[in-house]
Amino acid sequence: MDKEKRVEWEGRIKRAISDYNSAKKLIDGDEKYLDTAVYHCQQSVEKILKSFLVYKDIQFEKVHSIVYLVSKCAKIERGFEKWYDSAETLTPYATVFRYPGDYFEPEIEDVDEAIGYAKEIINFVISIYLENKDYDGKLVK
């Protein structure tokens, strides 16, 4: 991987982990920000999947659809196929709570589920990097 691609790849991993950790902090304590937390879960998964596509030098559209990204990743690595249901759940969180209008507030169970999906998908992707000895980071908690 050339230097420019590596910088992009590592940046996407770092931002994915940051979004994941932000989601967890947003539900810690008495004052919870559920809508923002599920948004950050979606963002963390979007970024880690895009990191995988950069890692494999696969072009992708500028989209927020986790379903689309999982599909692209599954064409390269079949293990991604198990994330289609999670992708269906996470994809709407990119926009549904971001703008004013008629929308519902997520429940804490929705956020817990989204955080669980984000953790599993991030760790799945990172484990591929670790397995190939291309990444010196660690799995998320």
Domain range annotation of the chain: 3-131
CA distance 90 to 87: 5
pTM exceeds 0.85, yes or no = yes
Segment 59-91, tens digit of pLDDT? 999 999 999 999 999 999 999 999 999 999 999
**Which range (19-28, 30-39, 94-103) has the least confidence?**
94-103
For the cut 70, the answer to whether the pLDDT of residue 111 exceeds it is yes
Residue 96: per-residue pLDDT: 78
Selected from 3.50.50.60, 1.10.150.120, 2.102.10.10, 1.20.120.330, the CATH number assigned to the domain covering 3-131 reads 1.20.120.330
Nearest to 124 by CA among 16, 34, 15, 26: 16
Residue 95: per-residue pLDDT: 83
Q: Are 20 and 44 contacting, i.e. CB atoms less than 8 angstroms apart?
A: yes
